[in-house]
Amino acid sequence: MLAGVVQKGELEWEVPIGFVPGMRVPGKFYLSARLEEILEEGAVRQLANVATLPGILCCSLAMPDIHWGYGFPIGGVAAFDLTEGVISPGGVGFDINCGVRLLATPLGQRDVAGRRDLIDAMYQAVPTGVGAKSSLRMDAKTLDGMMMKGARYAVEAGYGLPGDLVRCEENGFMKAADVKAVSGKARQRGVPQGGTLGSGNHFLEIQVVREIYDPEAAKAFGLAEGQVCCMIHCGSRGLGHQVCTDHIKILEESTRKYHIRLPDRQLACAPIGSPEGTAYFGAMAASANYAWANRQVITHAARNVFKKLFRIPHEEIPLIYDVAHNVAKIEEHTVDKKKRMVCVHRKGATRAFGPGCPDIPADLSSIGQPVIIPGSMGTPSFVLKGTRGAMEKTFGSTCHGAGRVMSRSQAKKKISGKEIAESLARQGIYVRAPNEAAISDEAPDVYKPSSEVVRVVHEAGISRLVARLDPVGVIKG
Amino acid sequence: MSFSELPHTADVRIRARSETLEGIFSDLTDALMQVMYGKFTAIRSETLVVKEVRVSGDDTASLLFNYLSEVLFLNEVGGIVFVRADVRVTGNKLHARLFGEVFDPARHSGGTEVKGISYSGLEVRNDANGYIAEIVFDV
């Protein structure tokens, strides 16, 4: 382990105050011995940098998929006092509400075995890759609707079922959205990209539930062994990217205005209640809503494909759950044994609320919130449940995925996209992507093993394993 | 004038080296386009689209952040892949003429979408041989 980092438990590590100058609280992260080998010093430094921000509560946290990002580390979680604390786009990222959702179908593996036409049809139905344009007829009013009411707007416009909304974090939209804080530039980027998947690590996958670890939770969520599911991973596209860029510029100035000293300019921030902080929060919420609407529109396209190819009505393809990975939210948590409202930033981390929390669907209240953890291309994804442990230790948060271990350029040099696609095909996984680079960039071994990441959060008790899903087909951006 | 990629696991980190500050800006424009669209051969110059960029910044780092963020915006909304940037920097102000071709999925493939320009690790310095910049593109 890096010099200065202290082991606090088998899977818990502390970065003491003083690791970087100006830390107000310690840093804390979860990691196993196997994941320790690939921990980057830059990521730990970023975790420590977050601990210097005004109003941070308890500690600066990172999940076991911690890696080197910008501003916060990826896998970073931090909660801030609403009066003394700050809000920062560096704690959310460019892809606001990048997130993932899981749909369950009544199909079994045998129904989809060898059905390349299913993946081909998905690839046709969902605009994918750099420069892909929306198939929606979007105008300024539609965009406003998406930004104000998120998945609810999409469902009301015919892109989904009312039941989908209760199975989304925040019921599919944040009320704090302020479209006036979203620039004309961001709007221009948002209009042509509604309902597009994007590129990079974004995907739509057909998966099969291969193993159930927690039968009671799986049943309550609506998952059974052998069942075919569809996972969608995407975010707020250029609109969210532009909102982040615009507000970093504004918050750079307010950092000076409010005399905040920062170790990294990407942590540009402002007091949560200041005009600049409020504007960022409103614009971020609008972008988060746009992302929820996007995933809802893609859901509708995916259901249409199942309907066309397998004659399954939309109603028989329920949404299991939808979680955000990159977002800041005002939530109630217990701090120093007192319940209070705080601003939680999650950057590459997932909300994992435990049983009894009012913000989870009523029928799952005794179980905990479903947590969806996507694997990298060709590797398993997992469904977990939120726990009381997460409420006590991590402001109700857990990991978000695998986390890279190899850069894209290294990946491209190591193995070609064609070879990877062939190797996956031999394992029964069919991949469609706009080009070879999109495949080699995201090759399975450029990521930490997702199984090890979820094992750590499971054993640390900040969420618990419910089911494993293996991919059978992937469309990539 | 040149640029190269430095190790970075999650994102793309670029180092540019040039005799002039303007050269750094134009090299990083090329780097940004290459990350997004792979290596491609530009089409004949008479069919290029021209865009003007005017930005200012508090220092060189913010000038670079503001400039490249604007390039990214023009690229995305216009569907234009830029092949050349003529840049002039005067104090804390920048004026650039960008020359680009219309996005063509058949020719401009092989890259990864850049979500934003990061301030983390953004550094511009000069030595006896000219200027060096390091920057991270979030992909």
- What CATH number is associated with residue A364? 3.90.1860.10
DSSP character at residue A376: -
- pLDDT (tens, 9 = 90+) of chain A, 477 residues, equals 889 999 999 999 999 999 999 999 999 999 999 998 889 999 999 999 999 999 999 999 999 999 998 999 999 999 999 999 999 999 999 999 999 999 999 999 999 998 999 999 999 999 888 777 787 888 899 999 999 999 999 999 999 999 999 999 999 999 999 999 999 999 999 998 888 888 878 999 999 999 999 999 999 999 999 999 999 999 999 999 999 999 999 999 999 999 999 999 999 999 999 999 999 999 999 999 999 999 999 999 999 999 999 999 999 999 999 999 999 999 999 999 999 999 999 999 999 999 999 999 999 999 999 999 999 888 899 999 999 999 999 999 999 987 777 777 777 777 788 888 888 999 889 999 888 878 887 877 778 788 999 999 999 999 999 999 999 999 987
Of B12, B109, B116, the CB nearest to A244: B116
CA distance A70 to chain B (A): 5
- Given this model, what pLDDT does residue A38 score? 85
Domain for residue A205, yes or no? yes
Strand order in the sheet with B49-56: B49-56, B93-102, B80-90
Domain for residue A434, yes or no? no
- Given this model, what pLDDT does residue B113 score? 87
CB contact under 8 A, B7 and A69: no
Q: Encoding tokens for residue A434?
A: 């706009």
Domain for residue A440, yes or no? no
Residues of A in contact with B75 (CB under 8 A): none
Q: Report residue A359: phi and psi, to 5°.
A: -85, 5
DSSP strand pairing (B49-56 vs B93-102): antiparallel
CB contact under 8 A, A69 and B11: yes
The count of residues in chain A is: 477
B21, B85 contact by CB (below 8 A):
no
Catalytic residue at A400?
Answer: yes
Smallest CA-to-CA distance from B61 within B131, B133, B3, B115 is with: B133
CB contact under 8 A, A248 and B136: no
The residue segments making up the domain with residue A305 are: 6-405+447-476
Nearest CA in chain A to B138: A94
Q: Average of pLDDT values for B131-137?
A: 96
Of A242, A245, A408, the CB nearest to B112: A408
**Residue B106 contacts A where some CB pair is shorter than 8 Å:** no
Distance CA A371, CA A362 (A): 16
Q: Encoding tokens for residue A160?
A: 């989904």
A10-17's contacts with Cβ under 8 Å and 24+ in sequence apart are: A10/A459, A11/A64, A11/A456, A11/A459, A11/A460, A12/A460, A14/A59, A15/A44, A15/A47, A15/A48, A15/A51, A15/A60, A17/A51
**Residue B86 contacts A where some CB pair is shorter than 8 Å:** no
CB contact under 8 A, B9 and A406: yes
Q: Encoding tokens for residue A158?
A: 């015919």
Distance CA A153, CA A142 (A): 9
Domain for residue A152, yes or no? yes
Distance CA A331, CA A208 (A): 34
- Given this model, what pLDDT does residue B61 score? 95
Q: What is the pTM of this model?
A: 0.96
Highest averaged pLDDT of the listed ranges A300-304, B113-117, B135-139: A300-304
Smallest CA-to-CA distance from A204 within A451, A430, A467, A445 is with: A430
**Residue B38 contacts A where some CB pair is shorter than 8 Å:** yes
Distance CA A199, CA A396 (A): 29
Residue B45 has pLDDT above 70, yes or no: no
A65, A399 contact by CB (below 8 A):
yes
Percent of chain B's residues with pLDDT above 90: 75
Residue A454 to residues A65, A209, A220, A328, Cα–Cα distance (Å): 9, 16, 21, 23
CA distance A272 to chain B (A): 21
Domain boundaries B2-138, corresponding CATH code: 3.55.10.10
Question: Coil, strand, or helix at residue A417?
Answer: helix
DSSP strand pairing (A60-70 vs A27-30): parallel
**Residue B126 contacts A where some CB pair is shorter than 8 Å:** no
- Given this model, what pLDDT does residue A348 score? 96
Residues of A in contact with B38 (CB under 8 A): 435, 437
Domain total for chain A?
1
CA distance A470 to chain B (A): 24
- Given this model, what pLDDT does residue B1 score? 55
Question: Coil, strand, or helix at residue A250?
Answer: helix
CA distance B119 to chain A (A): 5
R_g of chain B computed on alpha carbons = 14
Q: What ipTM was predicted for this assembly?
A: 0.93
CB contact under 8 A, B121 and A70: yes
A267, A88 contact by CB (below 8 A):
yes
Smallest CA-to-CA distance from A138 within A294, A245, A287 is with: A294
Q: Where are the domains of chain B?
A: 2-138
**Mutation for A interface: B119, B136, B139, most A CBs within 10 A:** B119
DSSP character at residue B7: P
Residues of B in contact with A75 (CB under 8 A): none
Domain for residue A437, yes or no? no
Q: Which of A322-336, B1-15, B19-33 has the lowest mean pLDDT?
A: B1-15
Q: Is the dihedral of CA A221, A74, A240, A122 positive or negative?
A: negative
